[in-house]
């Protein structure tokens, strides 16, 4: 079976370019061995992560996001001032306000664009992708830049071995434009949130509930807190469930998917999800070994990895899936059009 859907809207959205950026500095498993009681073998076997990139002090999420956006624009060979909107998925904005999107807009010179940030943790990118797609499909906009970017190192406790090994800093961007009449582009999505999981993965301090005080700092409330085992199980179950439901409602099976590009949280989560879906390993994009979990950045970074390896080609049917703090879950079906 293949994708031959009748367009539901006169205008469909497609991804027309991808760009990504990670800061040059590496934090390897060997480096972490010197910081916490851990070892390369444990991290590699339990997560698949070998190294991650982290920023130098003074580099913020908007810097990574702007660089990813510039790379994306360069691949499409268009100037920044042709963008109608910039949407940024992040849980580590430069500051609460202004939105990171505003800072990116001025850094890349996207005069005339509007935009905002969207907070959905590790599902942020695919949620933002759908919001951007609706701006294209409605006819309101011609070019929307969707960016997933996080500086996770800014909210990690580098004395907590159960979290600090998992995450890295990075950004990825995609350009959304209207599909040509013979193109399909973005097809369908299913998203779910479940706030009953809020305290399994969260950063409790700094918001309106626990504003920053010397006490919140002493209690380490400005760092990521996680019940790793609980998150692991729900992540596998829900990513598989939503992906399966999305395939079924579009008359597809895993065999119809050319490439599965999941959120990169843990290689074992990815493989267990794929196994439930009946997706063979050669169809999965996995780059977590190099980058760790960059939260908003993982899926567009993985798209860029697949493009650079020649694995992502025009006409392919692609499944995206994500899971993150919230809980937030998502699955997206699309056809690759460039
Ligand atoms: N190095 C060495 N040992 C470690 C360690 C580390 N970095 N982190 C934890 N351990 C220890 C634990 O203390 C525990 O020791 P104990 O048995 O003496 O108590 C042991 O390893 C097993 O811990 P456990 O938490 O059961 O390991 P795990 O196999 O569940 O792996 C995670 C831990 C965090 C890697 C895993 O739970 C995970 O990936 N969860 C999902 C995280 C995630 O993806 N979050 C983002 C979602 S978007």
Q: How far is the CA of 249 from the centre of ligand 1 (A)?
A: 35
Look at the block and give the residue holding tokens 């205008």: 11
* pLDDT on residue 2: 67
Q: How far is the CA of 165 from the centre of ligand 1 (A)?
A: 10
Question: What is the position in ligand 1's atom list of the atom closest to the CA of 322?
Answer: 48
pLDDT tens track, the chain, 338 positions: 666 655 556 899 999 999 999 999 999 999 999 999 999 999 999 999 999 999 999 999 999 999 999 999 999 999 999 999 999 999 999 999 999 999 999 999 999 999 999 999 999 999 999 999 999 999 999 999 999 999 999 999 999 999 999 999 999 999 999 999 999 999 999 999 999 999 999 999 999 999 999 999 999 999 999 999 999 999 999 999 999 999 999 999 999 999 999 999 999 999 999 999 999 999 999 999 999 999 999 999 999 999 999 999 999 999 999 999 999 999 999 999 99
Per CATH, 13-178 and 186-288+311-335 having the same topology is answered: yes
* pLDDT on residue 6: 55
The closest residue, in CA terms, to atom 9 on ligand 1 is: 162
Cβ neighbours around 152 below 10 Å, total: 26
Q: What is the DSSP string of 59-86?
A: --HHHHHHHHHHHHHHHHT--GGG-SEE
The closest residue, in CA terms, to atom 47 on ligand 1 is: 324
Cis before residue 327, ω within 30 degrees of 0? yes
- Angle at which helix 124-137 crosses helix 298-308, to 10 degrees, equals 80
Question: 78 near 16, Cβ under 8 Å?
Answer: no
Q: Give the closest residue to 91 by CA, choosing from 122, 45, 130, 134.
A: 122
Q: What is the pLDDT of residues 213-261, one digit of tens each?
A: 999 999 999 999 999 999 999 999 999 999 999 999 999 999 999 999 9
Q: How far is the CA of 323 from the centre of ligand 1 (A)?
A: 17
Q: Give the closest residue to 283 by CA, choosing from 294, 273, 296, 295.
A: 273
Q: How far is the CA of 42 from the centre of ligand 1 (A)?
A: 9
Which of 44, 46, 286 has the most ligand 1 atoms within 8 A of CB, as the residue to mutate?
Answer: 46
Sheet strands side by side (includes 259-262): 186-193, 328-335, 317-324, 259-262
**Residues in contact with ligand 1 (CB, 6 Å cut-off):** 38, 42-43, 46-47, 122, 161-162, 165-166, 226, 228-229, 231-232, 235, 265-266, 269, 293, 323-324
Q: What is the DSSP string of 151-198?
A: EGGGG--TT-HHHHTTB-EEEEEEEEEEPPTT---EEEEEEEE-GGGG
Question: 75 near 17, Cβ under 8 Å?
Answer: yes
Q: Is 263 a catalytic residue?
A: yes
The closest residue, in CA terms, to atom 30 on ligand 1 is: 229
Q: Choosing from 72, 102, 122, 164, which is the catalytic residue?
A: 122
Cβ neighbours around 77 below 10 Å, total: 7
Q: Which two tokens stand for residue 288?
A: 């977590």
Q: How far is the CA of 271 from the centre of ligand 1 (A)?
A: 17
Question: What is the position in ligand 1's atom list of the atom closest to the CA of 324?
Answer: 48
Question: 14 near 185, Cβ under 8 Å?
Answer: yes
Question: What is the position in ligand 1's atom list of the atom closest to the CA of 38?
Answer: 1
Dihedral sign for Cα 322, 66, 57, 90, please.
negative
Q: Give the closest residue to 68 by CA, choosing from 297, 262, 287.
A: 297
261 phi and psi angles, rounded to 5 deg: -120, 90
First to last CA, the chain: 21
- This model's pTM is above 0.85: yes
Q: Give the closest residue to 147 by CA, choosing from 167, 177, 168, 127.
A: 127
Question: 194 near 237, Cβ under 8 Å?
Answer: no
Question: What is the position in ligand 1's atom list of the atom closest to the CA of 235?
Answer: 47
Q: Identify the CATH class of 13-178.
A: alpha beta
Q: Is 122 a catalytic residue?
A: yes
In DSSP terms, 151 is beta-bridged to: 169
Q: Identify the CATH class of 186-288+311-335.
A: alpha beta
- For the chain, the structural domain boundaries read 13-178, 186-288+311-335
Q: From CA 59, how far away is CA 53, in angstroms rounded?
A: 12
The closest residue, in CA terms, to atom 36 on ligand 1 is: 228
Q: How far is the CA of 134 from the centre of ligand 1 (A)?
A: 38
């Amino acid at each position: 079976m293949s994708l031959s859907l009748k367009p539901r809207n006169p205008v469909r959205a497609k991804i027309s370019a991808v760009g990504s950026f990670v800061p040059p500095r590496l934090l390897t498993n060997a480096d972490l061995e010197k910081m916490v009681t851990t070892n390369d073998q444990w991290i590699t076997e339990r997560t698949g992560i070998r190294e991650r990139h982290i920023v130098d002090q003074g580099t913020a999420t908007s810097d990574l996001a702007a660089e990813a956006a510039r790379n994306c624009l360069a691949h499409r060979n268009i100037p920044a001032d042709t963008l109608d909107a910039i949407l940024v998925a992040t849980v580590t904005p430069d500051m609460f306000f202004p939105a990171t999107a505003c800072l990116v807009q001025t850094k890349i010179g996207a005069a005339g664009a509007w935009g905002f940030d969207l907070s959905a943790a590790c599902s942020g990118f695919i949620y933002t992708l759908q919001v951007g797609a609706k701006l294209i499909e409605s006819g309101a906009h011609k070019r929307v830049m969707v960016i997933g970017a996080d500086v996770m190192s800014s909210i990690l406790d580098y004395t907590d071995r159960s979290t600090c090994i998992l995450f890295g800093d990075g950004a990825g961007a995609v350009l959304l434009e209207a599909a040509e009449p013979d193109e399909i582009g973005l097809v369908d999505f299913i998203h779910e949130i479940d706030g009953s999981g809020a305290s399994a993965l969260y950063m409790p301090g700094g918001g309106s509930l626990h504003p920053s005080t010397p006490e919140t700092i002493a209690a380490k409330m400005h760092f990521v807190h996680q019940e790793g085992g609980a998150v692991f199980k729900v992540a596998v179950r829900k990513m598989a469930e939503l992906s399966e439901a999305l395939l079924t409602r579009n008359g597809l099976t895993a065999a119809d998917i050319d490439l599965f590009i999941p959120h990169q949280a843990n290689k074992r989560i990815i493989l267990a999800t794929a196994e439930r879906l009946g997706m063979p390993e050669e169809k999965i994009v996995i780059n977590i070994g190099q980058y760790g979990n960059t939260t908003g950045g993982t899926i567009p970074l993985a798209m860029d990895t697949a493009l650079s390896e020649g694995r992502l080609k025009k006409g392919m049917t692609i499944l995206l899936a994500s899971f993150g703090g919230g809980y937030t879950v998502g699955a997206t079906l699309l056809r690759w059009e460039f």
